[in-house]
Amino acid sequence: MQQFYAEKGVFKSDIDVLYYEFRMLNQIPLVADGFWAKDNAQVESFLLHARNLIEFLHGDGHLKCSDFKDRNNKKILPMKFISKDNIEKINEHLSHISSKRRKIKIGWKTKEFKNEINKYFIEFLEKISSSYFSEGNILFNISDFVSLIVKK
């Protein structure tokens, strides 16, 4: 069977991966009518990166917030802030082969959703040991992440 991917090894550390996800969540140009995003490709991209960060913060992903230690060298505890119902709706939206998806079209309040994720992600960054910011491809600090937040 032919392999359809190549591993590039782009990220040097976990903080690099988090920076990428946070940048994608905050810099996807959403086409919006008020607070409701309507362009499907942009919404799916937003939801994909939102889900990645939610899983990270909830402690459900491959990379979890509990993989990081705070300034007292203790594991960061998961931050559950999105309901299971909302996570299921994200998964249904991203899974194109779904009988529920054809019956229910969800309008996503992307601005409020993004703000909620940002709030908890910044809280996570404020807890972690500063040593994490110096192990990636770029020397990060919290302000590098905060500067990605587009306020519109």
The predicted-structure confidence for 97-123, as pLDDT tens digits, reads as follows 767 666 666 778 888 899 999 999 999
pLDDT at 34: 46
Report whether 30 contacts 150 (CB < 8 A): no
The count of other CB atoms within 10 Å of the CB of residue 124 is 19
H/E segment holding residue 33: strand 32-33
High-pLDDT (> 70) share of the chain, %? 76
The pLDDT mean for the chain works out to: 82
18, 35, 109 from 29: Cα distances, Å: 19, 13, 14
Residue 12 pLDDT > 80, yes or no? no
Residue 135 pLDDT > 70, yes or no? no
Helix 40-58 / helix 14-27 crossing angle, nearest 10 deg: 140
pLDDT at 97: 72
- Which tokens belong to 83? 């309901």
- Of the pLDDT bands very low, low, confident and very high (cuts 50, 70, 90), residue 139 is low
pLDDT at 51: 95
